[in-house]
Amino acid sequence: MSLISRRNMLLTGAAGGLLATSMKPEAIAAETYPAKALSMPGPTSPEEAAINPMDWQNLPTDHGNLGTLRHSFSMVHNRHTDAGWAREVTVRNFPISKQMAGVNMRLPAGAVRELHWHVPSEWAYVTYGKGRITGIDAEGRKHISDVKEGDLWLFPGGVPHSVQGLEPDGCEFVLVFNDGNFSEDSTFGITDYMAHTPKDVLAKNFGVPASTFDKLGKGDLWIFNAPLPGSLADDLAQSKQPNVPNPYAFALLDQPPVFKSAGGSVRIADVNNFKVTNMAAALVEIEPGGMRELHWHPNSDEWQYYISGTARMGVFKGEGKNNTVIFHPSDVGYIPQSIAHYVENIGKDTLRFLEVFATPEYSDVSLQSWAANVPHELLAAHLNIDIETAKKLASPQTKTPIRPL
């Protein structure tokens, strides 16, 4: 028996075998290479290496180097104020992340992310607690609403907005911007703008005395402490302008899944159910042993955020190139447009992660659906199988985002 086939036996056994081998790459390595070739006498950090063991030894089917497909908010610089914090994963520290950038922000009760705007659109998912968001559109119509864990929002590029943590413990959220070069440190803040505009111009602009702005300060409050807001009804009543016709917030977790199987479920928020959005997203839940099927996205890169559980993702890029990566909570994954991948729950707990896209409409192409809907003879000729076996691969012919069914 060759080394390769011995290893394949290890890898293609029961789900337990998959777990054992994927979590113990040194066992795979020992089957593949002589001990001398695996020796590593120089300095090493076992703790660091254990976070992504696939870096040291990939699966036997892996080949080539697709670059860094994983980053983590837990590994990046954090910007703190006396009110809250934010940290970011952008193209600067995660080179593959060209089409989208991510930010993780914490606002305890009362803390405000200053009134601001920016060039790219901002998609957000609340991972903890409660907050109040405000925004206005180009017609001066308002949006004010309270968001909770499982809700998302989308502020189109240029739309000014704010976020404030509510009682009892504020909120935490992830933001995704449809530009990998975005930085949370270079947004356009109301205090920065006004502090760098002559007071007489401000006075003329607002029709008030220039002395109104004497206590403005130097600007860039960014994240600061403010009194807790009153009721939502009171806040809404202060503006007589109408609400925006399509709200900027959406209760994703409150929606029924668009797909549910024994393996897990998928919820989708895109322009079809969340009118204002120009960024599509899916919230995927996978039970232990379950798998987000082999697929790719024809219209956008995919930005991933891992909320809970342990995942293994395999990414295929043609020319025999395939890399495998392990993900933990607070990790970010990234897959370029039309590059194929699967995501498998290799842990003991439910795996939850977000897929975010820089296009308004969600779209994926499924390997199984493809195989199921070409002539059986054609598929059989490719895979060197008989027609009856090809028919088994062709069932069901509808799409099945999560296995097992």
The residues annotated as belonging to the active site are 355
Which is closer to Mn ion, CB of 28 or CB of 152? Answer: 152
Tokens of 192: 């920065």
Which is closer to Mn ion, CB of 94 or CB of 222? Answer: 222
Q: Which residue is nearest to Mn ion (CB)?
A: 122
Which is closer to Mn ion, CB of 122 or CB of 285? Answer: 122
> Quick one: CA dihedral 289, 295, 297, 302, positive or negative?
positive
Which is closer to Mn ion, CB of 8 or CB of 338? Answer: 338
Subset of residues 302 to 361 that bind Mn ion, contact rule: CB under 5 A: 302
Q: Residue 313: count other Cβ atoms within 10 Å of its Cβ.
A: 22
d(CA 272, CA 73): 31
Cβ neighbors of 202 (< 8 A, separation 6 or more) are 194, 210, 212, 213
Asked if 31 touches Mn ion (CB under 5 A), the answer is no
Q: Smallest gap, in angstroms, from Cβ of residue 184 to Mn ion? A: 8
Stretch that binds Mn ion, among 21-29, 40-48, 84-92, 119-127 (CB under 5 A): 119-127
Q: Decide if 178 contacts 121 (C-beta within 8 A).
A: yes
**Helix (H), strand (E) at residue 195:** helix 190-195
Tokens of 270: 């895109």
Nearest to 294 by CA among 376, 399, 381: 399
d(CA 239, CA 245): 15
Q: Smallest gap, in angstroms, from Cβ of residue 276 to Mn ion? A: 15
d(CA 344, CA 348): 12
Q: Smallest gap, in angstroms, from Cβ of residue 358 to Mn ion? A: 13
Subset of residues 146 to 205 that bind Mn ion, contact rule: CB under 5 A: none
Cβ neighbors of 101 (< 8 A, separation 6 or more) are 88, 89, 90, 91, 120, 176, 177, 179, 180, 181, 182, 183
d(CA 227, CA 31): 62
Which is closer to Mn ion, CB of 302 or CB of 331? Answer: 302
Burial of 181 per CB tally in 10 Å (0-12, 13-18, 19+):
middle
Asked if 122 touches Mn ion (CB under 5 A), the answer is yes
Q: Decide if 104 contacts 330 (C-beta within 8 A).
A: yes
Cβ neighbors of 117 (< 8 A, separation 6 or more) are 158, 159, 160, 161, 187, 188
Q: Smallest gap, in angstroms, from Cβ of residue 399 to Mn ion? A: 13
Subset of residues 289 to 308 that bind Mn ion, contact rule: CB under 5 A: 302
Q: Smallest gap, in angstroms, from Cβ of residue 28 to Mn ion? A: 25
Stretch that binds Mn ion, among 97-105, 121-129, 322-330, 397-405 (CB under 5 A): 121-129
Q: Smallest gap, in angstroms, from Cβ of residue 387 to Mn ion? A: 31
Which is closer to Mn ion, CB of 122 or CB of 344? Answer: 122
Interface contacts to Mn ion, rule CB under 5 A: 122, 302
